[in-house]
Amino acid sequence: MGKKTFFLRIGILVLSLMITAYSSQALASVTQDKKVEVYNFDNRINSELREAFSGMPVLDYVKDVVAFREAHKVSPTTLPTDDAVLVREETISGYEGIPDLKVRTFQPKTRSGNLPAVLWIHGGGYILGSAEAAEGLILRIVKEGNCVVVAPNYRLAPENTFPAAIDDCYATLKWMADNSKNNLMINTERIAVAGTSAGGGLTAAVALKARDEKGPSICFEMPLYPMLDDRNVTASSYQVTDGRVWNREDNVKAWGMYLGNGNGKKVSPYAAPARATDLSGLPPTFIMIGELDVFRDEVIDYANRLMQAGVPTELHIYPGCFHGFEIFIPQAEISKKAKSEYIGALTKAINR
Mind listing the pLDDT tens digit for each residue in 3-20? 444 333 434 333 333 333
Of 32 and 56, the structure prediction assigns the larger pLDDT to 56
Q: Does residue 22 carry a pLDDT above 80?
A: no
pLDDT in tens, 277-308: 999 999 999 999 999 999 999 999 999 999 99
Q: What is the pLDDT of residue 33?
A: 52
Per DSSP, which regions of the chain are E strands?
85-92, 101-108, 115-121, 148-152, 186-196, 220-224, 285-290, 313-318
Are the C-beta atoms of 169 and 270 separated by less than 8 Å?
A: no
pLDDT category, 113, cuts 50, 70, 90?
A: very high
Average pLDDT over residues 67-83: 91
Q: Does residue 170 carry a pLDDT above 70?
A: yes
Q: Can you name the residues that pair with 117 across neighbouring β-strands? A: 148, 191
Q: Does residue 144 carry a pLDDT above 60?
A: yes
Q: What is the pLDDT of residue 237?
A: 97
Are the C-beta atoms of 196 and 159 separated by less than 8 Å?
A: no
Per DSSP, which regions of 96-219 are E strands?
101-108, 115-121, 148-152, 186-196
Length of the chain: 352
Average pLDDT, the chain: 91
In CATH, which of 3.40.50.2300, 3.40.50.1820, 6.10.140.120, 3.40.50.1100 is domain 74-350?
Answer: 3.40.50.1820
Strands 115-121 and 186-196: parallel
Within 10 A of 54 (CB to CB), how many other CB atoms are there?
11
Active site residues: 197, 293, 323
pLDDT in tens, 253-278: 999 999 997 776 799 999 999 999 99
Enumerate the domain spans of the chain.
74-350
Which amino acid would we find at residue 81?
T
d(CA 305, CA 310): 9
Burial readout 59-95 (b: 16 or more C-beta within 10 A, e: otherwise): eebbeebeebbeeeeeeeeeeeebeebebeeeebebb
Average pLDDT over residues 168-176: 97
- Using DSSP's 3-state secondary structure scheme, residue 202 falls into helix
pLDDT in tens, 200-252: 999 999 999 999 999 999 999 999 999 999 999 999 999 999 999 999 999 99
Closest CA to 38 of 246, 237, 249, 301: 237
* Residue 216, preceding peptide bond in cis (omega within 30° of 0): no
Closest CA to 140 of 132, 131, 149, 129: 149
For 40, 131, 142, 168, the CA distances from 136, given in Å and listed in that order, are 32, 10, 10, 22
What is the share, in percent, of the chain residues with pLDDT greater than 90?
81
To 10 degrees, what angle do helices 198-212 and 164-176 make?
A: 60
Q: Does residue 194 carry a pLDDT above 50?
A: yes
Q: Does residue 76 carry a pLDDT above 70?
A: yes
What is the pTM for the complete model shown? 0.89
Within 10 A of 32 (CB to CB), how many other CB atoms are there?
9
d(CA 130, CA 347): 23
Of 348 and 9, the structure prediction assigns the larger pLDDT to 348
Within 10 A of 181 (CB to CB), how many other CB atoms are there?
12
d(CA 195, CA 336): 17
Q: Does residue 34 carry a pLDDT above 70?
A: no
Please, what is the end-to-end C-alpha distance for the chain in angstroms?
Answer: 69
